[in-house]
Structure 1
Amino acid sequence: MGVTLQHVIIVFLASLFLIQFSLHTWISSHHNPVSRFDSCPILNSEPKVWSAKQRRYKNRHPHHAKRCKLRRLGGHREDQYGGWQICETEELLVSKTANSAEDRALVYSFGLGTDTSFDEDIISQYGAVVHGFDPTPGSLKYVRERSASLPDCNFAIHPFGLNDKDGEIKLYPPENPEHISHNQIPREGARPVTATLLRLATVMQLLGHTRVHILKMDVEGAEFGVLETLLSLPPLGEDDYGDGSGLSDGWAAPQRDSSGGGPDLPFDQLCVEFHPSIHPGGQEAGNAAVQRIVRALARRGFSLVHDTGAQELSFARLAVF
């Protein structure tokens, strides 16, 4: 008996179903939030990202802020380390006085380390709901203790990290034993830990979210793959390399058409620390990758609203008049 087209289609659809079911089962078995939020409505129901009260300030999707009043959240007074600049938008101001959890700003914070000052500030000043992510043992120990002092249902900790693909991967500790940030670069003599890393789309599906207000990323080199995938960028080519005189060479203004030739990005603000020195292609490739990502974000309507002159950059989806 010959194989018909109908048989091929049935086998193909059955294979897709099995793959999707296996991925869902794998994610569910690996998701075990550290914090005590089993009865928290934020984690057990899909929040309405935009409430009726917020829609008075928002008449199109996705949200374009009409102005950007920069606010610095988190960090140490001595060296400013750990702080981030964000735009104080209408959504954050609404969140500040919200009576309902559904009206609060939603923040994803990838890479907590042993500094949750940004997360604590955005909770205390704006009543935001923060989902924090970090797969490293030292960080999880720290945030277990720290989150106990924060308001219930405002800070949920998840023991996995961010990557451009789903799966388990070895992360290597830093050379300085006083630091805890792990990365994917093998180091001779170092004892790696096995961590669960997920794509942003997988995380959002797992938590039942369709959009976040602020995405913060300090993921020790994984930011390149994550953002290049989100922005649908091809591998680096010769044309992507500048003259090497600075990371800000060639940065573009945001375009009116925020589609940028790709799908909508599921966040309205992005705070990211780039690590060009540990880019798989080396420092020069890392610098070129930063420039290319900034230009690609501009094509999607995101303005670079703050640059430390080092590695920490903040972007916001601003209206272009």
Structure 2
Amino acid sequence: MSGIPASGAAGRVADSTGNWVDNHAPLWTRPYLRLARFDRPIGSWLLLMPCLWSAALAAGMAHDLSRLPLFCALFFIGSFVMRGAGCTWNDITDRDLDDKVERTRSRPIPAGQVTAKQAAVFMVLLCLIGLVVLLQFNSFAIATGISSLIIVAAYPFMKRITYWPQFVLGLAFSWGALMGFAGTFERLDLVAFALYAGSIAWVIGYDTVYAHQDAEDDLMVGIKSTALLFGENTKLALVLLFGVAVSLIGVALKLADAGWFAWIGLAAFAAHLVQQIVRVDIHDSPLCLKLFKSNRDAGLLLFGGLVADAVSRSMA
């Protein structure tokens, strides 16, 4: 991975701002850290949220907190590593498209900071780290985790053929909603699938807001998205998507016999989504980015409620 010109390694990516990678990482590592989006960890946090929800809800159902800290730690590492691998794969497949979009043309591959081959080697290394993390779980959870790779591999191509690439992203980014149950019970039931479906609706909603930053460029180069599909009706679409998300997560809580702490967490999560809908302006790109990033906080509110519920149930 060496042999990158220092000037290329030092160049900042257009859709990023100053951060530890730009300011402190060794020059030769910066293109790779940017490929993995370690300079912009919000996507990793969003990938982590459904993992944490499922781990906490499953712990509450099992009345057993003993594995929750380890599961959360493994999911944290796995989310950051595998999101990095997924983003690298996305950049490899989108390198010609990224060169035509203002926000992405200075990403490491189109900017010439790394070659596609170097990026592929880096992606394999990240996947191997992810495999080590996954092998800490039971065999059912391992098989469940590996199954997600089909969706991850397909996602970058969806924006070329459908206005619903965000749905496929939702399938991939919500997979963690299954993993906590797979790791705890070695099976998947209606609770897991209800949580998974609710998370998918949430992902479609927040990524639609994110996609409005690129709507004009996407239209010119032929990239499809729910942002273009919904257009001026985005606010109404968010009402429906976030409403479905809260309702389905509520179904999961009901099926899991969750207590009041979990419902309070869901109420806080719902209130956060409502204020996003009220504030969103699809023509204000900085605001769209800010609201998109705020979904980490929404997810943590729900997680906090689920953890409190799990603690209370383990003590009952």
Query: When the two structures are superposed, what TM-score results if normalisation uses the length of structure 2?
Result: 0.27
Higher strand share: 1
> RCO (CA 8 Å, sep 6+): is it higher in 1 or 2?
2
The higher radius of gyration belongs to 1
